[in-house]
Chains A and B, each alone.
Chain A
Amino acid sequence: MRIVADLHIHSYLSRACSPQLRPARLYEWCQLKGITALSTGDFTHPAWFAELRGTLVEAEAGLFTLKPEIAKPVDDAVFPSCRAPVRFVLGVEISCIYKKGPRVRKVHHLVFMPSFEAAGRFNADLAKIGNIRSDGRPILGLDSRNLLELVLKADPQAVLIPAHAWTPHFAVFGSESGFDSLEECFEDLTPHIFAIETGLSSDPAMNWRLSKLDGITLISNSDAHSPEKLAREANLFDTELSYAGIFDAIKSRDGRFLKTLEFFPEEGKYHVDGHRKCRTRLDPKETLRRNGLCPVCGKPVTIGVLHRVERLADRPEANQPAGAADYENLIPLKEVLGEVLRVGPASVRVDALYRRLLESFGNELFVLRELPLARLEKEHPLVALAVDRMRRGKVRIDPGYDGEYGTISLLSEEDLTSKRQLALFDA
Chain B
Amino acid sequence: MPDHLNPAQQTAVEAVDGPVIIVAGPGTGKTRTFAHRVAYLIQDQHVPPERILAVTFTRSAAAEMKARLTGLLGKVPDGLWVETYHAAALRMLREQGYPFGPGVDFSLIADEDKPRLLDGLVPRKEAAEFLDDLRQKKQRLEWPEAGPASEYQKRLAARRQLDFDDLFLYAMRLFEERPEAAATYRDRFTHIVIDEFQDTSFAQYRFARSLASHHLCVIGDPDQAIYGFAGSFRAFEAFKTDFPNHRVCRLSENYRSQGVIVQAASQVIARSSAQLPRQLTARLANGLPLAIARYGTDRQEAEMIARKIETLLGGSSHFAIDSGWAQADDERRAYGLGDMAVLYRLHAQARAIADAIERAGLPYRCYGKPAPAEDLESVIADDTGPRGEAINLMTLHRAKGLEFPVVFIAGCEEGLLPYERSDDPEEERRLFFVGMTRAKQRLFLSSAAKRFLFGKTRHAEPSPYLSDIQNELRQMEEVQAPRKPPERGTQQSLF
Binding site for B on A (CB under 8 A): 15-16, 95, 97-99, 103-104, 106, 125, 128-131, 133-135, 137-143, 146, 149-150, 167, 169-170, 176-177, 269, 299-300, 403
What is the CA–CA distance of A269 and B321 in the complex, to the nearest angstrom? 12
Name B357-416 residues within 8 Å CB distance of A: 358-364, 385-390
CB-CB under 8 A for A140 and B363, given A129-B387, A169-B314: yes
B319 proximity list for chain A (CB < 8 A): 15-16
- Chain B residues positioned under 8 Å from A15 (CB to CB): 317, 319, 361
Q: Report A240 CB to chain B, min CB distance, Å.
A: 35
Q: Which of B321, B361, B364, B387 contacts A403 (CB 8 A)?
A: B321
Are A143 and B313 CB-contacts (below 8 A) given A104-B336, A134-B359, A134-B361? no
Q: A139-B361, A149-B386 are in contact. List 5 more A-B contacts (CB 8 A).
A: A97-B316, A104-B334, A104-B336, A143-B386, A167-B318
Within the assembled complex, what's the spacing in Å between the Cα atoms of A128 and B337?
Answer: 17
Q: Which one of B319, B334, B335 has the greatest number of beta carbons of chain A within 10 Å?
A: B334
Decide yes or no whether B125 CB sits under 8 A from chain A.
Answer: no
- Report if B113 contacts A (CB, 8 A): no
Q: Are the C-beta atoms of B313 and A97 separated by less than 8 Å?
A: yes
CB of B421 within 8 Å of the partner chain: no
Closest to A299 in B: B332
Quick one: which of B321, B322, B332, B360 contacts A300, CB cutoff 8 A?
B332
Check: B228 CB closer than 8 A to any chain A CB: no
Q: What residue of chain B has the Cβ atom nearest to residue A403's Cβ? A: B322
A137 partner residues in chain B, CB cutoff 8 A: 317, 361
Query: Does any Cβ of A come within 8 Å of B19's Cβ?
Result: no
The smallest beta-carbon distance between B440 and chain A, in angstroms, is 14
Sampled A-B contacts (20; CB under 8 Å): A15-B319, A98-B337, A99-B339, A106-B314, A106-B316, A125-B385, A129-B385, A129-B388, A130-B388, A130-B390, A131-B362, A131-B364, A134-B358, A139-B317, A141-B337, A141-B389, A142-B388, A146-B386, A169-B318, A169-B321
Is B313 in contact with A104, judged by CB distance below 8 angstroms?
Answer: yes
- The reply to whether A140 and B388 form a contact with Cβ atoms under 8 Å apart is yes
Task: Say if the beta carbon of B315 comes within 8 Å of chain A.
Answer: yes
> Residue B48 at the A interface, CB < 8 A?
no
Question: Counting chain B CB atoms within 10 Å of each CB, which of A150, A269, A403 scores highest?
Answer: A403
Asked if B296 is an interface residue, CB under 8 A from chain A, the answer is: no
Option from B318, B358, B388 in Cβ contact (under 8 Å) with A98: B388
Contact A97 B361 (CB under 8 A): no
CB distance from B340 to the nearest CB of A (A): 11
Q: Which of A95, A133, A269 has the most CB of B within 10 A?
A: A95
Chain A residue contacts of B362, Cβ below 8 A: 131, 139
Residues in B whose Cβ lies below 8 Å from that of A139: 316-317, 361-363
Does B97 touch A at the CB level, under 8 Å?
no
- Chain A residues near B77 (CB-CB < 8 A): none
Which among B336, B358, B386 is the interface contact of A97 at CB below 8 angstroms? B336
**Chain A residue at minimal CB-CB distance from B337:** A141
Taking a contact as CB atoms under 8 Å apart, the answer to whether A128 and B385 are in contact is yes
B338 within 8 A of A: yes
Q: What residues of chain B lie closer than 8 Å to A97, measured between beta carbons?
A: 313, 316, 336-337, 389
C-alpha spacing A139/B306, complex, angstroms: 14
Which residues on B sit within 8 Å (CB–CB) of A177?
314, 334
Residues on the A chain within 8 Å of B315, using CB: 169
Q: How distant is the Cα of A243 from the Cα of B147 in the complex, in angstroms?
A: 71
Distance from A230 Cβ to chain B, minimum over Cβ atoms (Å): 18
Complex contact B388–A95 (CB within 8 A): no
Q: Which of B267-289 contact A (CB under 8 A)?
A: none
- A135 (CB) vs chain B CBs: closest residue: B361
Q: Name the A residues within 8 Å of B359 (CB-CB).
A: 134
Residue contact A141 to B321, C-beta cutoff 8 Å: no
The 7 A-B residue pairs with the shortest CB-CB distance, nearest first, are A141-B389, A141-B388, A135-B361, A99-B336, A16-B319, A104-B334, A130-B363
Once A140-B388, A146-B386 are accepted as A-B contacts, the answer to whether A99 and B363 lie under 8 Å apart by CB is no
**Distance of B210 from chain A, by nearest CB (Å):** 45
Which residues of chain B have C-beta atoms less than 8 A from A140's C-beta? 363, 388
Residues of B within 8 A of A269 (CB): 322
For window 22-52 of B, CB contacts with A under 8 Å fall at none
Q: Quick check: B363 and A141 within 8 Å, CB to CB?
A: yes
Q: Contact check, A98 vs B336: say whether CB atoms are below 8 A apart.
A: yes
- Residues in B with CB closer than 8 Å to A134 are 358-361
- Residues on the A chain within 8 Å of B332, using CB: 299-300
- Decide if B317 touches A141 in the complex (CB within 8 Å): no
B336 touches A129 (CB 8 A): no
Which residue of chain A has the shortest Cβ distance to B388 in the bound complex? A141
Least Cβ–Cβ distance between A176 and chain B, in angstroms: 7
Closest-by-CB residue of B relative to A16 is: B319
A141 and B338 within 8 A (CB): yes
Nearest-neighbour CB distance to chain A for B243, whole angstroms, equals 44
Rounded to whole angstroms, the CA-CA distance of A24 and B388 in the bound complex is 35
**In the bound complex, CA of A138 to CA of B313 (Å):** 15
The interface residues of chain A lying within 8 Å CB-to-CB of B322 are 269, 403
When C-beta atoms are compared, the residue in chain A nearest to B363 turns out to be A130
Closest to A150 in B: B386
Given A99-B338, A104-B335, A176-B314, A141:B390 Cβ within 8 A: yes
User: What's the minimum C-beta distance from B306 to chain A, rounded to whole angstroms?
Assistant: 11
**Interchain CA distance A106-B335 in the complex, whole Å:** 11
How distant is the Cα of A104 from the Cα of B389 in the complex, in angstroms? 11
Roughly how many angstroms separate A362 CA and B316 CA in the complex, as a whole number? 40
Tell me, rounded to whole Å, the shortest Cβ–Cβ distance linking B467 to chain A: 35
- Contact A138-B387, Cβ < 8 Å, known A95-B316, A169-B318: no
Most chain B CB inside 10 Å of its own CB: which residue of A125, A133, A139? A139
Measured between alpha carbons, how far is A403 from B318 in the docked complex, in Å? 8
* Pairwise interchain contact B316-A98, C-beta atoms closer than 8 A: no
| Cα distance A177–B335 in the bound complex, in angstroms | 11
In the complex, A374 Cα to B266 Cα: how many Å? Answer: 82
Kindly state the separation between the CA atoms of A317 and B265 in the bound complex, as whole angstroms: 59
- What is the bound-complex CA distance between A299 and B334, given in angstroms? 15
Whether B358 pairs with A131 at a CB distance below 8 angstroms is: yes
Given A95-B316, A98-B336, A139-B316, check contact A131 B363 (CB 8 Å): yes
B331 to chain A, nearest CB (A): 12
| Most A Cβ at <10 Å: residue of B337, B385, B389 | B389
Q: Which residues of A contact B358 (CB under 8 A)?
A: 131, 133-134
Q: In the complex, A15→B338 CA distance in Å?
A: 23
Q: How far is the CA of A414 from the CA of B276 in the complex (A)?
A: 87
Cβ–Cβ < 8 Å partners of B335 in chain A: 104
| Alpha-carbon separation in the docked complex, A137 to B362 (Å) | 11
Please give me the residue from chain B that is nearest to A15 by CB atom.
Answer: B319
